[in-house]
Structure 1
Amino acid sequence: MQFSKTLKAISLALFASSSYAQADQLDNTKNWQTFETENFRVHFTPEYEKWALSSAREMEAVRTLVEQQQGRVLSEKVDAYIIDPLNAANGFAVPLSHKPYMALFATPPMSDSVISNSTGWQQLLVLHEYVHLVHLAQKSRSNIRSKIAGWYDLYDASQIKGERWVAEGYATLLESKMTGRGRLYNNYVESILQQFARQGALPSYSQLSNINNDFMSGSMAYLVGVRYLQWLEENYGEDTLDAVWTRWTAVKNRTFNQAFNGVFPQSAKSLYQRFIAEYTHQALQKEAHYPEIDSNLWLDLSGYVSAPSISPNGEHLAVVEKTRNDEETKVSLHVYKTEENAEAKKEFNEEVAKILKDDPKDIAAKAPKVFKRKQAYSLHQTNSRGINDPRWLDDDHIVYRSTSLSSANEFHQDLFIWQLSSNTVTQLTREQNLRRFDIADNGQTIYAERNRYGKSQLVKLSLNTNKEASIESELTAASLHHVYDFPRISPDQQQLAYLVSSLNNKWSLKIKNILTGKIATVPVPENYQFLSFPEWAKDGKSIFFVAGLDQQTKLYQYDFTVKELSSLTSGEQPITWPVFKDENELLHLAINDNGPDIYQLAIDNANKTTITDTTTNASVTSSLASSYKLEAADIIVDSSIGEQSNYGVGPQQGTITLGGNFYSASSTMLELGYKSGDVLGRFDWQAHISQDFSSNILSGGSASVRWHGWPVKLLAHGYQFKLKTNQQFEDAINLGHLKERGLFFEASYPMQFETLKLNGFVQGKVAKTASFDSHYFSVGLQQSWSLDKQNWALHQQFNTTFLQGEDDFSQQISDSSYQGNNGEFDMNAHFKGYGLGVSYLWANRSSEAGNILSLGGYSASLIQEKAHLNKLLTPELAFYSQQANDYEQMQAYIPVSIGKVFYRRHKMDKQEVIDSYGFTGTIHNDFGFTGITDLVINYGVAQVNPENQKSDTQGWIGISHQF
């Protein structure tokens, strides 16, 4: 049970840091600073200083209010990292009871996000993540469990209780109660959930925490979870729900369900079913009062659909489609013909006629509401970078937003252009952090929102004939107080519509006269909450948008000529992304449980309702907030509440580490150690003792230290071990009891250019055995490159090392100098889910070295592969299965999700060939809390077939920490 909890803890930590999966790590070579207050340490780089110091003030305010509201507080100082690795709104918390920390992403959300309803992005984010810590990182009232958690990170993580919906739902509940905004009070969210309810598609209790291929499944823990928790409070009292959290941390160890069942009359699952029944009943009651929908289905799609855009000639519609399949998200930009698919209709009718001719009594299938329009062009994302917000430049070119990677290993949002006729893509901007945009002046001008270092502004770009876009002017100053979105140029190119949200204010729709600079505010419904998706009418005399009111969203039109606001839809459908097909026909998305579909609305025939209660005031009332309400959000730098200093080696967090290795060919071994480091991975060190308790085949100790605070990375590793080669589980060369100790140094310089990674290094090692002393000096290069076109991908890597060494044999008069090299070339590809890879690995030493290369054995904390270039570690073989001066390995394999199925051939000089085939996998994590960084898990099973010996089956699993 404890082992499964530990694996769950590892999974939790890996999930928490999954936002970094596209980037190796944060840039720990920058000038990191720390601002330390009474209860927080805030870490940041200089460009985020104002954001960071303001967040520190917000953290202290949030801590005080949460303590008042809950009577709970963290006794440990919290580390908060201010970062922006993806140029997107996000954040996470790691609720270790003795080492809590959180990461706050500076980029704010856009207007159509479910997290856009806030008093301010910084306040919302600080509150949500800190509540996670207070909720989940409370120390156990059991002294024993609490002390063990303080010593051992993975045990501490295994004590984090509750399902995902419990954690996310409760943080979302307090985010809303303490601000009067948030996802609980989001009309856009409510309209979607009511649509799901009417379809009977709200998640079951067992599905609530899931992230699967279903539309919006990952969001349900937040959106439905918070409403269920609110329902529990309303029906059974806030104190009853709060008692669950108190019972969680009791001396008696309880699961969430045990803590819940002790204070509620029924189980969480049973009460959830009642909640869903009531919620669905209310949604169905409301449905009875809706008039008939005026829109007609135009294109039936599935999955995540966004940003439809009509070509200038009206013949094509571009739309972004995202589908999730086996934890992989596929993103494509599809271009459909706008004309009806007469061919598909004809084929259907012919098929029906044939069926009835063959069997006149058969009942033919009904025709679909609309035949899917022909797909004319398709563009898939490259290297999982996404495709967003396409806009037509002309009938043959589409500009879209995607993620790019800078040489500093940072991600940025940039603009790209796709030429349909040639199917070529060109990058227009580099490292500009541009989000939504629009195109004007016959493609010569682009208006865009730019967000850098958490600051939002509107900018104007010029596009030259070489398809390069550069910033021409800044239309607004970069601001932490305002967020801009959806710039949309009018048909006459004279007016720019855009959305803007400021601290403690809702989104509002502005119209700026480009010539005069005059700005006007478009009236919207009184008491609105959600506002997004502006779209100009073809004649420029009115503007359309989507607004949320009374738990529903509607499509609205504001007519500038008569200065009148009208609603065009009933509110039953969750409407998004209106776009004009022609003067009178408007297309829009309508969300259902399978994802948005595209509908068509005839403006002249729409059931328009004039809105008389309008407003241009975007201020927010606090009526929905509880009595424990945060003060108004603000960006205030108060350096007096703390002290600023250089980050240095960072807050060092130490932990006991436990590792275990079972390799049926060689030995078993347990490893006990202590490891210390900081979250950025600037400075880390570890020490281990290793012992085979079953047969005492392998034992020893090792220590490593690493510094990554400079562009040049430094590593030192020392070890001492004893190996009984003749007592391993499988036969090997009988070298008796080998004793070896050594010291290894490495300096490396990694570089990255998009997916091309280079790492040059120099290494040195001195070692001593019973019979000789040795040392070598080596230089090498590691290189890798990949190209992923979604339907197919190619990955390649090449490593080579050249070394000069010398062995000092105690029984010889002269020393023996030698040269050698190690290398590996690997290439694999996949096409539509089917993969294949090949690799070639070699090592050779000059004849003066003697038989210095050995084949077999495994890597662990004690014996780390990079520190043993003369040991060719292969887990299915025992240490020193063979010795020689030349080695080559040829391998073919099929990649699968958790490893690879392989066949490999080992050829050691003129010795017998060894074939092996089976399955192997490796998990290597290099980010997170101390207990899981540098964690390596190896596993596999193989059939080993020596050339002249009987075959055997070998298996292995190893868990260790390796630098």
Structure 2
Amino acid sequence: MRVLLTTVLFSLGFFSQQVFAIDPGLHWKTIESENLFVHYAEGHKAYAEHAMAITEAAHKRLTEELEWTPREKTHVILSDETDGPNGYATPIFFNRTVLFVAPPSSINTLEDFDNWLSTLIFHEYTHIVHLDKSAGSPEYLRGIFGRFLFLFPNIFQPSWVTEGLATHKETYPERGIGRGQSTLYASMMREEVANGIQPVTHVNLPVSTWPAGTTRYLYGVYFMEFIAENYGEEKLQQWVDEYSNNLLPFFINTNANKVFGKNLTPLWKDYEAWLKRRFEPQIAAIEARGLSASTQISEDAYRTDAVRAIQTDEGEEVYYVRNSGDERASLMHINAAGESEALLTLNGGSDMDLHARSGILLTQSEYCNNYTVYRDIYLYRPEQDSLDRLTECGRYIHVSWFPDGGQIAAVHHDYGKISLHLLDEKAELIKDLWQGEDGEIIGQIDVSPDGRKIVASMWRRDGGWNLELFDIAAGKWTKITTGSNITAYPQFVENGDILFSYEDGLAYAAETDAA
């Protein structure tokens, strides 16, 4: 009994931490619909109404597909307390989802969407309906004891099941939406197949091995596709129904055996075989084309971000952000002789740009107050080994030096809206160059060698992610690429051409003439 009580108190404490993640200093407003309460900060009613319309559509579709309608209205909280795209949902105490309004602005597995808010809402509302769902004894006892933690059976499923189902529901392959059809996810699973598929006993756990936090989404969504393809969507739904009737948690093998005729161990073997049939021909085709020769210059980088090279008197030197997974992220330097050293620790992933005289610009997340974590601009001077914070609560996501090192182009975020700013060398605002509307997102940027233009990875509702060139004097954008292929990470070279990446079933590096 003491162990059970301790577990309950720990669980309630864990879940209740998120209740207080919302800034109480804001003037909060609420609008109500048939199935929802939508809470928003004063001044953003139009955004809240838009979110409500999408969530009501999600409610209609998902309650039909998952065959469950929550008895009480769901609380939807629109949060602008971070510059990173994310959200979470929980049924504890009451059905609640917090949606962070910042859109994705880089290739981080979240880039496949035609409306970011819609994709986010459908994913999180799947959690609401799925985790709230109960049947049999749990449903009966909830009528007596209320929303007691252990009367929500689906909370106790492995995270790859809950996240896999939500990612499955967000995905529309025919429209190029969702992680279940993304080029990046396919490339990640090809690597898993090539290096050995992880056993279900490992995927069940919170893993630190690659791909770490993405593991539950990656393996989960492909498992749902495997089930749907081989057994049908109706069997997937039956599996959800059976687990929702568990009075005692963790009976995942019993439920699988009842629905599929086998428990998860042989089912996972079938899943492995399915993955190999799907991805091994792709691996063979890629190898048959011939792999481009390259030289590995970094080590033990769990995730490498913001790679930049600069020519010095000693030769070419490289800076990058290393996130090893074992310790805090670091700014790394590789000198012309190939020797590597860590210069300083960082707060996770960062954007970066170099200037030979002015130093290294970094953007990283930092506390603005007790409730908000925003991205700020920092300046690192290698010769002085000093890191200076240039902005306080600045909300700058991407930065690029002008050629003279006296000005900075920066991408700014505020409540889901993206703008392009011109800053001085101290990151003080000179001019607002461009203000985006709904359906316009700027990703990575780079200033041209002549300082007259800025290239950006730009998302527009009618075209997805493409490269565009911003003429600073004219204040206008010109498209460089068009189409549905995701283009990103543009960078000028000395002759004015642009290097970038793009996706066309596979990921490629390319070069184009900016003219």
What TM-score comes out, normalization by structure 2 length? Answer: 0.91
What displacement does 1:243 show? 0.6
Residue 916 of structure 1 is matched in structure 2 by: none
Residue 545 of structure 1 is matched in structure 2 by: 500
Asked if the contact 1:112/1:532 (under 8 Å) is kept, the reply is yes
Residue 444 of structure 1 is matched in structure 2 by: 406
Residue 58 of structure 1 aligns with an amino acid whose one-letter code is I
Residue 94 of structure 2 is matched in structure 1 by: 99
What displacement does 1:377 show? 5.4
Give the Cα–Cα distance (whole angstroms) in 2 for the partners of residues 253 and 377 of structure 1.
Answer: 49
Give the Cα–Cα distance (whole angstroms) in 2 for the partners of residues 172 and 32 of structure 1.
Answer: 30
What displacement does 1:475 show? 2.1
Asked if the contact 2:419/2:432 (under 8 Å) is kept, the reply is yes
Relative to 1, partners in 2 of residues 1:415 and 1:252: Cα closer, same or farther, differing over 3 Å?
closer
Structure 1 counterpart SS, 2:459: strand
Residue 481 of structure 1 is matched in structure 2 by: 439
Residue 538 of structure 1 aligns with an amino acid whose one-letter code is E
Structure 1 counterpart SS, 2:123: helix
Residue 548 of structure 1 aligns with an amino acid whose one-letter code is E
Residue 299 of structure 1 is matched in structure 2 by: 297
Asked if the contact 1:51/1:106 (under 8 Å) is kept, the reply is no
What displacement does 1:520 show? 2.2
Worse overlay, 42-51 or 159-168: 42-51
Query: What are the superposed Cα offsets for residues 302-360 of structure 1, whole Å, 9 maximum, x if unpaired?
Result: 211111111242542111011223xxx41110111033xxxxxxxxxxxxxxxxxxxxx
Structure 1 counterpart SS, 2:125: helix
Give the Cα–Cα distance (whole angstroms) in 1 for the partners of residues 423 and 354 of structure 2.
Answer: 16
Unmatched tracts of structure 1, length 5 or more? 340-372, 562-963
Give the Cα–Cα distance (whole angstroms) in 2 for the partners of residues 273 and 149 of structure 1.
Answer: 40
Identity among equivalent pairs (%) = 21
Q: Within 5 A, what are the aligned runs for 1:436-515?
A: 436-463=398-425, 468-503=426-461, 505-515=463-473
What displacement does 1:10 show? 4.1
Number of matched residues?
Answer: 507
Structure 2 counterpart SS, 1:65: helix
- Is the strand fraction higher in 1 or 2? 1
Relative to 1, partners in 2 of residues 1:153 and 1:310: Cα closer, same or farther, differing over 3 Å?
same
What displacement does 1:518 show? 4.6
Structure 2 counterpart SS, 1:231: helix
Unmatched tracts of structure 2, length 5 or more? none
What displacement does 1:85 show? 2.5
Query: What are the superposed Cα offsets for residues 660-680 of structure 1, whole Å, 9 maximum, x if unpaired?
Result: xxxxxxxxxxxxxxxxxxxxx
Query: What are the superposed Cα offsets for residues 384-442 of structure 1, whole Å, 9 maximum, x if unpaired?
Result: x3351121132572110122333565222110001112211111122220001111041
Residue 335 of structure 1 aligns with an amino acid whose one-letter code is H
Query: What are the superposed Cα offsets for residues 699-732 of structure 1, whole Å, 9 maximum, x if unpaired?
Result: xxxxxxxxxxxxxxxxxxxxxxxxxxxxxxxxxx
Matched, 1:536 2:492: yes
Matched, 1:115 2:114: no
Residue 361 of structure 2 aligns with an amino acid whose one-letter code is V
Structure 2 counterpart SS, 1:472: strand
Which of 181, 193, 199 matches 2:189? Answer: 193
Structure 2 counterpart SS, 1:390: strand
What displacement does 1:527 show? 5.2
Matched, 1:280 2:276: yes
Give the Cα–Cα distance (whole angstroms) in 2 for the partners of residues 441 and 70 of structure 1.
Answer: 56
Residue 256 of structure 1 aligns with an amino acid whose one-letter code is I
Give the Cα–Cα distance (whole angstroms) in 2 for the partners of residues 453 and 94 of structure 1.
Answer: 23
What displacement does 1:148 show? 4.4
Give the Cα–Cα distance (whole angstroms) in 1 for the partners of residues 191 and 236 of structure 2.
Answer: 28
Which of 23, 36, 39 matches 2:35? Answer: 39
Asked if the contact 1:10/1:154 (under 8 Å) is kept, the reply is no
Structure 1 counterpart SS, 2:399: strand
Which of 375, 379, 404 matches 2:344? Answer: 379
Asked if the contact 1:210/1:218 (under 8 Å) is kept, the reply is no
Residue 509 of structure 2 is matched in structure 1 by: 555
Structure 1 counterpart SS, 2:268: helix
What displacement does 1:47 show? 4.3
Relative to 1, partners in 2 of residues 1:5 and 1:214: Cα closer, same or farther, differing over 3 Å?
farther
Query: What are the superposed Cα offsets for residues 941-962 of structure 1, whole Å, 9 maximum, x if unpaired?
Result: xxxxxxxxxxxxxxxxxxxxxx
Relative to 1, partners in 2 of residues 1:396 and 1:433: Cα closer, same or farther, differing over 3 Å?
closer
Matched, 1:309 2:308: yes
Residue 392 of structure 1 is matched in structure 2 by: 354
Worse overlay, 251-260 or 393-402: 251-260
Residue 375 of structure 1 aligns with an amino acid whose one-letter code is S
Residue 217 of structure 2 is matched in structure 1 by: 222
Structure 1 counterpart SS, 2:88: strand
Query: What are the superposed Cα offsets for residues 819-856 of structure 1, whole Å, 9 maximum, x if unpaired?
Result: xxxxxxxxxxxxxxxxxxxxxxxxxxxxxxxxxxxxxx
What displacement does 1:229 show? 0.8
- State the superposition RMSD in angstroms: 2.7
Give the Cα–Cα distance (whole angstroms) in 1 for the partners of residues 304 and 378 of structure 2.
Answer: 20
Which of 364, 381, 385 matches 1:402? Answer: 364
Asked if the contact 1:447/1:458 (under 8 Å) is kept, the reply is yes
Residue 360 of structure 2 aligns with an amino acid whose one-letter code is I
What displacement does 1:539 show? 0.7
Which of 43, 47, 54 matches 1:51? Answer: 47
Relative to 1, partners in 2 of residues 1:220 and 1:149: Cα closer, same or farther, differing over 3 Å?
farther
Residue 83 of structure 2 is matched in structure 1 by: 87
Give the Cα–Cα distance (whole angstroms) in 2 for the partners of residues 197 and 499 of structure 1.
Answer: 31
Residue 142 of structure 2 is matched in structure 1 by: 146
Which of 399, 402, 425 matches 2:387? Answer: 425
| More RCO (CA 8 Å, sep 6+) | 1
Give the Cα–Cα distance (whole angstroms) in 1 for the partners of residues 2 and 71 of structure 2.
Answer: 26
Residue 258 of structure 2 is matched in structure 1 by: 262
Give the Cα–Cα distance (whole angstroms) in 2 for the partners of residues 133 and 80 of structure 1.
Answer: 10
Asked if the contact 2:109/2:185 (under 8 Å) is kept, the reply is yes
What displacement does 1:268 show? 2.4
Query: What are the superposed Cα offsets for residues 736-762 of structure 1, whole Å, 9 maximum, x if unpaired?
Result: xxxxxxxxxxxxxxxxxxxxxxxxxxx
Q: Within 5 A, what are the aligned runs for 1:349-748?
A: 373-376=338-341, 378-381=343-346, 385-386=347-348, 388-395=350-357, 397-407=359-369, 409-463=371-425, 468-503=426-461, 505-523=463-481, 528=485, 530-540=486-496, 542-550=497-505, 552-560=506-514
Give the Cα–Cα distance (whole angstroms) in 1 for the partners of residues 225 and 16 of structure 2.
Answer: 25
Higher radius of gyration, 1 or 2: 1
Relative to 1, partners in 2 of residues 1:218 and 1:6: Cα closer, same or farther, differing over 3 Å?
farther
